Amino acid sequence: MDFKGKTAIVTGAGSGIGAAIALELATRGAHVVVADIDHSSAVDTVTRIASEVGSALAFEVDVADAESVREMANFAVKEFGGLHLAVNNAGIGGPSETTADYPLEDWRKIIDVNLNGVFYGLKYEIAAMLETGEGGAIVNMSSVLGSVGRPKACAYVATKHALVGLTKVAAMEFAARNIRINAIGPAFIDTPLLTKNLDPDVIESLAELHPVGRLGTPTEVSALTCFLLSSQASFITGSYHLIDGGYTAR
């Protein structure tokens, strides 16, 4: 896979899965906008990319803010001359509460970041790709929880299911204009999203939910994402791709 001459945006690229994707895209030749709400973490990813002789710039974005996302797309075009690839990856978890007890404020925040954030991404990235005029490819970061439920995670599960529908609609709208849009559904991946928030015994019990007997890694998710962004995936659009160690096969 070769992304030379392509410009990519990766949101949430300061940590975990997004950082792995930004690193792989850059080592395969893309110019990468490393976008995150946590600017110092985005700068760290850019430093890692620079040490591997890649090309990247950090951009501070809040994906829950439409204007901030519009500026991110403009930044990519201004700095690198166009936009070809995007990964709408930024996302948050949330409290573990039943639907009856779920705090309204957390519900709204998760909808804002995980769902509205991806809509804003698509809206402005597609416009920038059309203006660039060379086609494009986008991957939206859903989850295995975009196809199955999990008690005490109503907001997260609702947003990740919604991304699958949003992906299908946008893909149908822009397929004829050479922009492919897919979603992926990782099961539990070893990133700060999990390790920061959960006790080791809970993480161990999550690992056991996967027939492969372990959590996934950010580089495994990056490999699928980069394949879907590449020209090798030229007939794949509007679909949702699980990467789940057998989680949903049970």
Q: Which helix (H) or strand (E) holds 15?
A: none
15 touches ligand NAD by CB under 6 A = yes
Residue of 7, 23, 36, 228 interacting with ligand NAD (CB under 6 A): 36
Question: Which tokens in the block code for residue 113?
Answer: 């970041």
First and final CA of the chain: distance in angstroms? 33
How far apart, in Å, are the Cα atoms of 128 and each of 35, 169, 235? Answer: 16, 18, 22
Distance CA 109, CA 77 (A): 29
| Smallest distance, ligand NAD to C-beta of residue 92, A | 5
The C-alpha atoms of residue 174 and residue 121 are separated, in whole angstroms, by: 15
Binds ligand NAD by CB under 6 A, chosen from 5, 81, 192, 211: 192
**CA quadruple 245, 85, 156, 18: dihedral sign:** positive
CB closer to ligand NAD out of 130 and 194:
194
Instruction: Verify binding: residue 12, ligand NAD, rule CB under 6 A.
Output: yes
Choosing from 102, 124, 156, 247, the catalytic residue is: 156
Residue 18 or 238 having the CB closest to ligand NAD: 18
Which of 141, 166, 224, 228 contacts ligand NAD by CB under 6 A?
A: 141
Indicate if 156 belongs to the active site: yes
Q: Judged by CB under 6 A, does residue 92 bind ligand NAD?
A: yes
Task: Assess 113 for contact with ligand NAD (CB under 6 A).
Answer: yes
Sorted by sequence, the CB contacts under 8 Å of residue 130 that are 6+ apart come out as: 177, 179
Residue where the block lists tokens 């946590």: 38
Question: C-alpha distances in angstroms, 195 versus 86, 209, 233?
Answer: 26, 16, 32
67 sits near ligand NAD (criterion: CB under 6 A): no
Distances (CA, A) of 63 to 97, 157, 233: 25, 19, 27
Closer CB to ligand NAD, residue 16 or residue 238? 16
Q: Which is nearer to ligand NAD, 182 or 191 (CB)?
A: 191
Min separation Cβ 61 and ligand NAD, Å: 5
Which of 72, 170, 189, 228: binder of ligand NAD (CB under 6 A)? 189
Identity of residue 128: A
Q: Which residues are catalytic?
A: 156
Q: Which residues bind ligand NAD (CB under 6 A)?
A: 11-12, 14-18, 36-38, 41, 61-64, 89-92, 113, 141, 143, 186, 188-189, 191-194
